[in-house]
Amino acid sequence: MAVMQHLLNCQPLLNLIKEDEVKPACCLRLATHGSVMDTFGDEFNKYRSPLVSRYASKEMAYNFSDKKKFTTWRKLWIYLAKAEKYPVFDKVRKVTGMVGKALGLPVTEAQVAEMESHAEDIDFAMAAEEESKLRHDVMAHVHTFAHCCPTAAPIIHLGATSCYVGDNTDLIMLRDGFDILLPKLARVIDRLSKFAEKYAGLPTLGFTHYQPAQLTTVGKRACLWLQDLAMDMRNLQRAREDLRFRGVKGTTGTQASFLQLFQGDHDKVEDLDRMVTEMAGFKKAYMVTGQTYSRKVDIDSLSPLASMGATIHKICTDIRLLANLKEIEEPFEKEQIGSSAMPYKRNPMRCERCCSLARHLIALLADPLQTASVQWLERTLDDSANRRISLPESFLTADIILSTLQNITEGLVVYPKVIERHIHHELPFMATENIIMAMVKAGGNRQDCHEKIRVLSQQAATVVKQEGGDNDLLARVQADPYFAPILGHLDNILDPKTFIGRAPQQVARFLSEEVRPLLEPYKAEIDVKIELEL
């Protein structure tokens, strides 16, 4: 069954198998340019992207599958046929008395019905054979669709260019990809906010330059991570809302073919564009395009994903550093093995996976930046092969990173006693200013006290650094008669909670005012658990 499931996760098979259809692996066959190969044997003889075969969720893998892509092409051809035929009803025409003005192209109900009945039963073998002859993927699928829709064949793709299906499908996939990612990001933020709230008041060493610094709390540190994730959430929401449809624009974006079809009626061309846009679920279409939509749209889509990758890399690096200190650990399964050679090890492999994939996600942003910069005039085709890789891989990578991070944040383990020991090791040095202030309040001289503390601190530092001993500054203070006036107050002076400032209050306000409102749109999906295959 494990091998079977692994095969079902493969990208080529997603193109051939419906989500609810499971066949024996030995019966699965892949047709490529007329040749038929035994899938079970062949799939292990060629490279398969781990993003699909190993990591990404089924819904994101399907979103960028050939099945989703080419069924979307067919739906777009159906939208076009419907809009070219159907009457227009809108507020503007009601006001002007032009209700029910038909667009008027020779498209029949029977043709539309025939196309709708074959929207998803794609013969991939025929399409592959057609493409091997025509060297044109869109026309190969036009012919394949026409083969099963003989009545509708004359009007499929009427007036359109390849980018009508190609670019519009890409925009639909980007939109749907964001719709998959946003609830996952919300769940990560939710889990981490609960962690921050639970540990809002637990003191811990702060680190600057990875050297011990003034105390913070475990929850306050988590809020630093949350703040970056909240920024990512807003960036992803904005990118998703900014997406528009390419619409019906023709070969170079002028809509000339449609103007000719509608005999110079500009209103009908605009109606057609608007109707198809609405059928595809978009509120707006780009008003101007070349043959393609501007490739800066890809930059705007992948940029927030890369930025989120940077956030997650930082979070998981912090957890890895804290795991080394044994203060915090990611979940570790009962039978999980950390090292084949060192059985005692508990490696932070989930965080390491996130960091590894986050670097890939960040690097992918270079592709749309360079692609947009080298598009000539109305378009060049040197964008196509690059985008087939960079767009899906960015969303697939972001998907598995979020799934993994959700798994991490649902099972983070904190070791308060280890944290306390580290605080007690460093706190005497950090408390020197407090000790000086207490001595001054007791009638001492600030400069004399400063010198006493300086000498004792250097002696204690020698014990720690050169002899490998514990920090004995507190014992030295207690043994020096000079500090007798404050010895009864040392416990209060050295209470870690007096060193965390307003950290707990900051956590409470931040979660209340910024984090929880951000999660409100995702309440229905917030409790979904993630099943992570490691």
- Residue 339 bears catalytic tag: yes
Q: How far apart are the two ends of the chain, measured CA to CA in Å?
A: 16
pLDDT of residue 87: 58
Q: Could you report the per-residue pLDDT of 417-440, keeping only the tens digit for each?
A: 999 999 988 888 888 888 888 999
Q: Considering just the CA atoms, what is the radius of gyration of the chain in Å? A: 31
Nearest to 200 by CA among 410, 502, 431, 419: 502
Give the confidence band of 16 by pLDDT, cuts at 50, 70, 90.
very low
Question: What CA–CA distance (Å, rounded) separates 507 from 511?
Answer: 6
Instruction: Report how far apart, in Å, the C-alpha atoms of 425 and of each of 220, 410, 414, 463, 469 are.
Output: 21, 30, 19, 12, 10
pLDDT of residue 383: 83
- Residue 450 bears catalytic tag: no
pLDDT of residue 45: 85
Question: What CA–CA distance (Å, rounded) separates 421 from 443?
Answer: 33
Give the confidence band of 514 by pLDDT, cuts at 50, 70, 90.
very high
| pTM (predicted TM-score) | 0.84
Q: Could you report the per-residue pLDDT of 250-295, keeping only the tens digit for each?
A: 889 999 999 998 889 999 999 999 999 999 999 999 999 998 999 9
Would you list the DSSP string of 24-82? -GGG-EEEETTEEEEHHHHGGGS---HIIIIIS-HHHHHHTSHHHHHHHHHHHHHHHHH
Question: What CA–CA distance (Å, rounded) separates 310 from 361?
Answer: 9
Question: What CA–CA distance (Å, rounded) separates 154 from 23?
Answer: 36
Q: Could you tell me if residue 417 is left (phi over 0), alpha (psi between -120 and 50 degrees) or otherwise beta?
A: alpha
> Residue written as tokens 């964001």?
178
pLDDT of residue 2: 40
Instruction: Give 217's contacts (C-beta < 8 A, 6+ positions apart).
Output: 199, 200, 201, 202, 203, 204, 500, 503, 504, 507
- Give the active site residue among 339, 356, 373, 512: 339
- φ, ψ (nearest 5 deg) of residue 262: -95, 20
Higher per-residue pLDDT: 64 or 4: 64
State what percent of residues in the chain have pLDDT above 70.
85
Tell me the sheet residues that pair with 453: none
Region of poorest pLDDT, from 92-96, 149-153, 359-363: 92-96
Give the confidence band of 39 by pLDDT, cuts at 50, 70, 90.
low
Helix 137-148 with 162-198: angle, nearest 10 deg = 100
State what percent of residues in the chain have pLDDT above 90.
63
Question: What CA–CA distance (Å, rounded) separates 240 from 283?
Answer: 12
Q: What is the mean pLDDT of residues 502-519?
A: 97
pLDDT higher than threshold 80 for residue 94:
no
pLDDT higher than threshold 80 for residue 413:
yes
pLDDT higher than threshold 90 for residue 518:
yes
What secondary structure letter does DSSP report for 341?
S
Q: What is the mean pLDDT of the chain?
A: 86
pLDDT higher than threshold 60 for residue 238:
yes
